[in-house]
Amino acid sequence: MEPVGHHYVAEASGCDPEIIGRVDKVEQILVRAAAVANVTIWSISFHRFSPNGVSGVVVISESHLSVHTWPELGYAALDIFTCGNDAKPEAAVEYALKGFGAKSMHITEVTRGLEEGDRLFFHSIVTWEETLPTRDGQRRSRAVKRAKHPVRRASRR
């Protein structure tokens, strides 16, 4: 059976504080990321914290895109969960991270709603670090690291 959904959790470092500190910019980036992901938007809610930081969520028929930022640290925590076969969550993640001006990121993909025909659902996890391409299209020299951490199912008796 196909998984029910794909959930991406991204830790974005080196973000542009002038972008991630402005609620209008962060909202614009996440709304556009939803469009890039080919999903349907139902609701949008964003808030700027004093003195810094933006939190927001874009509720989509396929689930959600959410973010919380710390401009003083150049850090953004991004969460994108989609279900269905037409959504492109990877494209949304890449678009948002580029929009935030992230220099490097740690990404975890959780494949959710896996099952083996017994209606007992589980998930698998893949996590890696990478940098975005430079303006000339080349990836920075930092090596991509991938580690797979499958979630084991307890045996039934």
- Give me the active site residues, please: 63, 68, 83
Q: Which residues of 140-157 are buried (b: 16+ CB within 10 A; e: fewer)?
A: eeeeeeeeeeeeeeeeee
Q: Rounded to an integer, what distance in angstroms lies between the CA atom of residue 113 and that of residue 36?
A: 24
Phi, psi of 154 (to 5 degrees): -70, 140
Q: Rounded to an integer, what distance in angstroms lies between the CA atom of residue 27 and that of residue 3?
A: 29
